[in-house]
Structure 1
Amino acid sequence: MGQHLIDSLSAVTLAVIDFEYTTPAGAPAEPFEVAVVALRAEDGALRVGREFQALMQPPPHAALTVFDTGQTGITPQMIADAPPAAEVLAKLDRRFTAGPYLLIAHHAPAEAKILAAYRDACPNLARLPMLDTVRLARGLYPDLPRHSLDTLMRHLHIPSPPDRHRALADVRVTAQIFIRMVTDAQWLNLDHVRAIGGYTPPAPAPEQPTLFG
């Protein structure tokens, strides 16, 4: 892990984000769980920081399916009294006011699309620049047949958590994978990382002149 890269990463707070969502026919995906894990570059290494996790109740047209429950273990009863996504994301968004921040997601377009759909509730989150760990992994491990979380966990010998497919478990795994990729790669600085795995969200970018200056 090069010192220039660590110095570059120390200029931002990295936040790994993941949604569990249902995909109703003919309608956009609707989230029913979200989790975030913070990463900071400190003392020459990436360290895991605070975590956020919350269940959300999707709208009636996007109720949980048998597949959703089978994959995540989340039942309709578990989210019956949960607040709607707009309320949860507004609460989460209030944590993203100081900056600069950089979101990390595995297959970032999916998370970015949900954030864009709820941008009125989470304007800070919806506009943040993102890194896609799928794109980073394709560049770093080109010989792998796929670059899913499960494939990368096996390749990097990261144990699969018992609650795999819950949002918090998945962001913890994604954070471990990102840390390993930073260790394995010969990336020069944050600009180099962004050139390989950067993803621009659909919402307008925020004013963050110090982020990649």
Structure 2
Amino acid sequence: MGGLTEDPAFLATTFVVIDFEATTPKGHPAQPIEVAVLALRYEKGAWTTVGQSASLMRPPAFAPVTPAVTAQTGLTPEQVGQAPGPAEVLSALDRRFAAGKQYLLVAQHAATEANLIYNQRAHCPALAHLDFLDTIPFAKHLIPGLPNHKLDTLLAHFSIKHPADRHRAAADVDVTAQVFLQLVSAADEDGQLSDLAALVKIAGRTAKCNMPAQGGLFDI
């Protein structure tokens, strides 16, 4: 490893890979039905798992699990119908983020996760204020020659085994984490990104809760 993983800011950060599965009812934003996280730190020259969890969530009545969602995720209305609601699940997850510690969320196509978290921010205020690293622009910067930078393409590029339960949150978090670690290793080897600030400049995404409020066009 090289400069990136020797940067004090990088070493002080817990990287929390996160993935949601959701149902998208007509006329409403996406509603979460599953979330998984995997928290990683780089310590003494190696990655360490410092926390992980996965939970189903019961969506509101206006957002049922459709046959299309079941076909993609394998989740059925019966499975999520027995689960706790987002308020309980996300509040419990939120309590796992300690005050005063430095975190960055990591996701593949982070806009999806960012929007889901923002819409649930009343239940997870700490989580909602965490900024993201998006593996797509990270991969585009390091390996621009790929036909695309979708997760399955990156799995094939890095020879990461395609999980049998792809599109379940825990499986997708696991392989996204593997991709992220491969990208960090590649960045270290070629020296393109010397520190965490350089990585954030390339692949960072500011949480909506951290964006400045926009006043009206004619506010005085």
RMSD between aligned residues: 1.2
What is residue 210 of structure 1 aligned with on the other side?
A: none
Paired with 2:154 and 2:4, the residues of 1 have a C-alpha distance of 26
What is the TM-score when the length of structure 2 is the normalising length? 0.89
Paired with 2:4 and 2:20, the residues of 1 have a C-alpha distance of 32
Structure 2: stretches of 5+ with no match in the other structure: 212-220
What is residue 103 of structure 1 aligned with on the other side?
A: 105
Percent of aligned pairs with the same residue?
Answer: 49
What is residue 5 of structure 1 aligned with on the other side?
A: 5
1:144 Cα deviation after fit: 1.0
* Aligned partner of residue 46 in structure 1, secondary structure: strand
Would you say the 8 A contact 1:6–1:41 is kept in 2? no
Paired with 1:154 and 1:4, the residues of 2 have a C-alpha distance of 25
Which amino acid is the alignment partner of residue 198 of structure 1?
G
What is residue 209 of structure 1 aligned with on the other side?
A: none
1:163 Cα deviation after fit: 1.0
What is residue 40 of structure 2 aligned with on the other side?
A: 39
* Aligned partner of residue 157 in structure 2, secondary structure: helix
Q: Is 1:141 aligned to residue 143 of structure 2?
A: yes
Written as runs of structure 1 = structure 2, the 5 A alignment for 1:152-171 is: 152-171=154-173
Aligned length: 205
1:95 Cα deviation after fit: 0.3
What is residue 74 of structure 1 aligned with on the other side?
A: 75
What is residue 210 of structure 2 aligned with on the other side?
A: 204
1:117 Cα deviation after fit: 0.7
Paired with 1:193 and 1:64, the residues of 2 have a C-alpha distance of 37
Q: Is 1:193 aligned to residue 195 of structure 2?
A: no
CA deviation map 1:96-125 (0-9, x unaligned): 123211111111111011111111110000
Paired with 1:46 and 1:9, the residues of 2 have a C-alpha distance of 12
Which amino acid is the alignment partner of residue 70 of structure 1?
A
1:9 Cα deviation after fit: 1.7
Would you say the 8 A contact 1:102–1:129 is kept in 2? yes
Structure 1: stretches of 5+ with no match in the other structure: 206-213
Q: Determine which structure has more spread, i.e. the larger CA radius of gyration.
A: 2
What is the TM-score when the length of structure 1 is the normalising length? 0.92
Q: Which runs of 4+ in 1 moved over 3 A?
A: none
* Aligned partner of residue 139 in structure 2, secondary structure: helix
Paired with 2:23 and 2:141, the residues of 1 have a C-alpha distance of 30
Would you say the 8 A contact 1:109–1:201 is kept in 2? no
